[in-house]
Amino acid sequence: MRWDVNFPGFCPVWLLAFMLLPSCMVGPDYVRPPTETAAQWLEAEDQRLKITTPNDQEWWKTFNDPILNKLINRAYHDNLSIRVAGVRVLEARAQLGIAIGNFYPQNQQLISSLSKVHLSQRASQAAFSHIFDYAQAQLGLTASWEIDFWGKFRRALESADAGFEAAVANYNNALVSLTADVARAYITIRTLEKRLSIARQNVDTQRETLQLADIRFKGGTTSQRDVEQARTVLANTQASIPTIEIGLRQQQNALSVLLGMPPSNISNLLAGTVQQIPSPPMQVAVGIPAELLRRRPDVRQAELQAAAQSASIGVTKAALYPAISLTGTFGFLSSDVGSFTLGDVFLWKSRTANFGPALQWNIFNYGQITNQVRVQDARLQELLVSYQNTVLTAQQEVENNLVAFLRSQERAKYLAESTEAAQNSLDLATLQYGQGITDFTTVLTAQQALLSEQDSLANTLGEISTNLVGVYRALGGGWQIREGKDIVPDSIKEQMAKRTDWGGLLSPAAQPSPDTQTPSGVSWPRW
């Protein structure tokens, strides 16, 4: 930073202060705390995983479902929570501008006044003057500039810059959550639709079985107990349908809100050639745990919040030292006393000026400032530990979703076999019952077993895809969808521009460009 001083009579002491200014900066420099990361994932040996850097900028496309792609694109443009996160980025950018402004004279005022004065005839000056009434006009400028001798404003800028980058990371994290939430809701809807279809198919089959039992009862070949048992199984299956329909409607409502609209009938958005549970790819790239430090926006946000707090210690600590300021006033002053007139205020001889340094030092603060520094330091330590915990939690989330993704595939394999066996068992039981070889209870038991296996299989297939969504979310993928695009839509910018002069901060050039998510600390100043 460059400081230019060109004032008459500027003393060498103050010149020395300016020269030493860049080297004086109280408070700690931020240092990233150590973190514990595993060398490999616990499931790294599984052939379904690839230990390569995942290319998951648009991970949802791995499901090859055009409807899902369309829903995520719409949510990105219309979701209201994302818009809130985007506006917070603009707010943080404005806060950064405030911090930058402190490097210039903090107080700058234009002075202009016209006053009518009446002095008390018993005032002290009345003993020396008999003029008690006069008018006075003044016009001028005044400014004060606190020199950043201890780095208070530089630390404040450092903190604001980190806060701005943290707001960007928060926006990215909101995108990660949004894309995962939309995919999860969509997969759940498709899963419930499949379960609903299975339940209805079983209702049709069980209704036919009831008719058969009723015919045999009326023919005298079986008892009424068979009819009542068939009616019981049918009613129980019918009772499961409303429960599934409740879950389906609730998921549709949740998806509607994610898409930025009130709960609606979204059947037109879900219609298409593909209406089944999305299938995951054969292999998934997961990288290594250490990559989470640069990939996950919430990890980056946690570190940036700690960096911002570290700089806040220096801002507070600067209050322990003297505040050195330069103040000055220049203007014109005139009165109507004697031969003077108010019009003389525009004459050069009416000029008035004062300039000089000032020092303010809170030497008797009774330990308040010291304790304020301690408070800021304690908050920093909290954030450092929170950052370390965020890194551990991120690894846990990946591991949890990986094991769920892999083991649910194995469960689905066994359920497919049990479902096939249950179908064969029902076919045999129905045939044997028609031939009088077995009792009706065997048929009903086989029907219930088939429904249970089919429902479990459909639910597990949905869990496989949902767990994969959890893997991508835990890896921090999806925020890259914003690359090359504005943080806030044009409609929001137009509303804000009508209310307030935002200058160039609403233009794309003033908004953060996509970064690599590498939490390398804070680079400043951001002019």
Question: What confidence tens digit (pLDDT) does each residue in 55-95 have?
Answer: 778 999 999 999 999 999 999 999 999 999 999 999 999 99
- Among the candidates 308, 340, 360, a domain finishes at 360
Q: Identify the burial level of 210 via C-beta atoms within 10 angstroms of its C-beta, where 0-12 means exposed, 13-18 middle and 19 or more buried.
A: buried
Give the pLDDT confidence score for residue 202 in this predicted structure: 94
Burial class (CB in 10 A: 0-12, 13-18, 19+), 116: exposed
Q: Which domain holds residue 389?
A: 25-103+149-320+367-505
Is residue 410 domain-shared with residue 389, that is, in the same domain? yes
Claim to verify: residue 386 and residue 288 sit in the same structural domain: yes
Q: What is the CATH number of the domain that holds 348?
A: 2.20.200.10
- Check whether residue 77 and residue 60 sit in a common domain: yes
Same domain, yes or no: 405 and 348 = no
In a domain, 280, yes or no: yes
Residue 392, in any domain of the structure: yes
Is 505 in contact with 100 (CB distance < 8 Å)? Answer: no
CATH number at residue 181: 1.20.1600.10
> Is 297 inside any structural domain?
yes
Mean pLDDT of 420-439: 90
Instruction: Indicate if 180 and 273 belong to the same structural domain.
Output: yes
**Sorting pLDDT into bands at 50, 70 and 90, what band is 19?**
very low
* Amino acid identity, position 139: L
Residue 231 forms part of a structural domain: yes
User: Given pLDDT bands bounded at 50, 70 and 90, which one contains residue 512?
Assistant: low
How far is residue 259's CA from residue 272's CA, in Å, rounded to a whole number? 18
pLDDT, position 161: 94
For residue 23, what pLDDT band results from cuts at 50, 70 and 90? low
- The residue ranges of DSSP E strands in 232-286, in sequence order, are 284-285
Q: Are residues 129 and 209 in the same domain?
A: no
Q: Model confidence at 511, in pLDDT bands (50, 70, 90)?
A: low
State pLDDT tens for residues 301-315: 999 999 999 999 999
Whose CA is closest to 209, among 395, 434, 22?
A: 434
Radius of gyration of the chain, Cα coordinates, nearest whole angstrom: 37
Instruction: Tell me, yes or no, whether 226 and 334 share the same domain.
Output: no
Q: Which residue has the tokens 């003993």?
A: 127
Residue 527 lies in a domain: no
The pLDDT of residue 274 is: 66
* Same-domain pairing of 216 and 249: yes
Residue 350 domain-assigned (yes or no): yes
Q: What is the predicted pLDDT for the residue at 402?
A: 95
How far is residue 94's CA from residue 87's CA, in Å, rounded to a whole number? Answer: 11
512 domain-assigned: no
Residue with tokens 């058969």: 212
Same domain? 86 vs 49: yes
Predicted confidence (pLDDT) at residue 2 exceeds the cutoff of 60 = no
Q: Which pLDDT band holds residue 18 (cuts at 50, 70, 90)? A: very low
Highest mean pLDDT among 350-354, 393-397, 501-505: 393-397
Q: Note the pTM of the prediction, 2 decimals.
A: 0.86
Same domain assignment for residues 222 and 258: yes
Phi and psi based region of residue 146 (left: phi greater than 0; alpha: psi -120 to 50; beta: remaining): beta
What's the pLDDT score for residue 360?
87
Q: What is the pLDDT of residues 447-468, one digit of tens each?
A: 999 999 999 999 999 999 999 9
| pLDDT interval class at 9 (50, 70, 90) | very low
Average confidence (pLDDT) over 126-134: 78
Residue after which a domain boundary falls, among 360, 382, 415: 360
Do both 242 and 329 map to the same domain?
A: no
Q: Is residue 15 part of a domain?
A: no
Q: What angle do CA 77, 79, 84 make, to 5 degrees?
A: 105
Say if residue 40 is in the same domain as residue 137: no
Quick one: which H or E segment has residue 20? helix 12-20
- Nearest of 443, 309, 450, 457 to residue 375 by alpha carbon: 309
Domain count for the chain, please give it.
Answer: 2
Q: How many CB atoms lie within 10 A of CB 280?
A: 20
